[in-house]
Amino acid sequence: MNKKQEALKQFVEKVKNKYDDKIERIILFGSYARGEDKEESDIDVLVITHGDRFEMQKNISGIAVDILLKIGVYISAKSVSTEEYDSMKKIKTGFYQNIAREGVTVE
């Protein structure tokens, strides 16, 4: 397992262990999801939450920083509420279209 795989695995495990009841989905997107990442590329992750997205953003950002300090891989983690995600889907924002096209739900 390389550093990026390990970083993503740890991120998903920590988020699910702490906040599983508030998580709708965790989606990997961007260059890493497409298999086009370079060594210096970050890992883009979207967390869709049932709860307060601002609180979730704070929590997942903290987890991402811990992983950066331990492993040296930057995870760019974004959080949206289920309502916000549904709105983005309805009006087909560019961000939503990228997620729909290249996003991979992670377990």
- pTM for the whole thing? 0.93
CA distance linking residue 99 with residue 92, whole number of Å: 11
What mean pLDDT is reported for the chain? 95
The answer, yes or no, to whether residue 21 has pLDDT greater than 90, is yes
Q: For the segment 42-92, what is each residue's pLDDT rounded down to a tens digit?
A: 999 999 999 899 999 999 999 999 999 999 999 999 999 999 999 999 999
- Number of domain units in the chain: 1
| The pLDDT value given to residue 1 | 76
Residue 80 forms beta bridges with which residues? 48
Full residue range of the structural domain in which residue 50 is found: 3-105
CA distance linking residue 32 with residue 18, whole number of Å: 25
The answer, yes or no, to whether residue 106 has pLDDT greater than 90, is yes
Q: CATH number, domain at 93?
A: 3.30.460.10
| The pLDDT value given to residue 36 | 94
Nearest-10 Cα torsion for 93, 87, 102, 94? 10
